[in-house]
Amino acid sequence: MELTEEQVLRYSRHILLPEVGGVGQSRLLSSSVLVIGAGGLGSPVALYLAAAGVGHIGLVDMDQVDLSNLQRQVIHRTSDVGRMKVSSAKEKIALLNPDVRVTEYPFPLMADNASDIAVQYDVLVDGTDNFAAKFLINDLAILTDRPLVHAGILRFVGQVLTVLPGKSACYRCLFREPPPVGAVPTCSEAGVLGVIAGVIGTIQATEVLKILLNRGELLVDRLLTYDALPASFRNVKVRRNPRCPVCGDHPTITELHDYEQPVCTTPVIP
């Protein structure tokens, strides 16, 4: 893809980087990323990928913007309260970078629709807020052979893991199955410092760009954890589990399943 004069200027700080250059920038412009969840994590992911010139961004979110979202979901504005999150986000992306095409999916990702959507994208980003979705998205990545950048945030902490299907450990190698309903609180129950979504979401966006550009060392086979209170980043090793039910040598999960897990439940804080 030939860059226009305006694009050379817009992306000049990328093009100056030998690791990106004009070739890398063209690659970004012809890439596609599916961002699942247009909330706390999805906001910085979508904004930075749009700014970076990722040519096609898919946004999946069934929710409408709520006033309580604005403390951390920086793609939405006060005037967007009540609008579909995907529409609000699409509008901000268009204002930021007209090079980016956005496809809206204003419904939940489920076992019966997820694969058809995922196969249209190069990379998947998990910006969801519940274990049911996180396990579904992990299995989706493995079954459709799409790289996945997973993350979770809660209170003052966040976690990021990149999954390269067939090559690295997956989320299910790390945590075998969703915890029982109510065993682990979600943000809506336990709270989250809004900026954690920014820290972790921008790390996810960084991983996506590294995957698309084929540069650097990905967060594979290690879980990055960030704790804001002591201001510490730590890596723990994650190994591919040969007995993993979805990516192991003899998988028992060969198709997607929906998990029953209402998002708002009474927490039994572990």
Partner 1 sequence: MSVLIRIPTPLRPLTNGQNEVQETGGSVQEILDKLTVRYPGIGERLLDEKGDVRRFINIYVNEEDIRFRDGVQTALKEGDELSIIPAIAGGSR
Question: Any residues with CB less than 8 A from the CB of 120 and at least 6 apart, and which?
Answer: 32, 34, 58
d(CA 174, CA 93): 34
**Considering only residues 24, 42, 58, 147, which one is a binding residue for partner 1 as defined by CB under 8 A?**
42
Annotate each residue in 44-63 with x if it binds partner 1 (CB under 8 A) or - if it does not, as one string.
Answer: -----------------x-x
Told to check if 82 binds partner 1 by CB under 8 A, we report no
Buried/exposed 197-207: b ≥16 CB within 10 Å, e otherwise = bbbbbebbbbb
Q: Does 221 bind partner 1 (CB under 8 A)?
A: no
From first CA to last CA, the distance across the chain in angstroms is: 51
**If binding means CB under 8 A, how many residues of this protein chain bind partner 1?**
55
Of 156-195, which residues contact partner 1 (CB under 8 A)?
Answer: 156-159, 174-179, 183-188, 190, 192
CB nearer partner 1, residue 30 or residue 225: 225
CB of 125 within 8 A of CB of 42?
yes
Among 55, 127, 165, 198, binds partner 1 (CB under 8 A): 127
Length, in residues, of the chain: 270
Minimal distance in Å, beta carbon 153 to partner 1? Answer: 5
| Per CB under 8 A, 140 contacts partner 1 | no
Among 23, 98, 236, 242, binds partner 1 (CB under 8 A): 236
Structure tokens at 23: 């070739």
Count of other CB atoms within 10 angstroms of residue 110? 12
Q: Which two tokens stand for residue 256?
A: 């997607």
SS3 139: helix
For partner 1, which stretch binds (CB under 8 A), given 35-43, 46-54, 76-84, 139-147? 35-43
Name the residues that contact partner 1, by CB under 8 A.
Answer: 37-42, 61, 63, 66, 69, 126-131, 134, 151-159, 174-179, 183-188, 190, 192, 197, 223, 225, 227, 229-230, 234-239, 263, 269-270
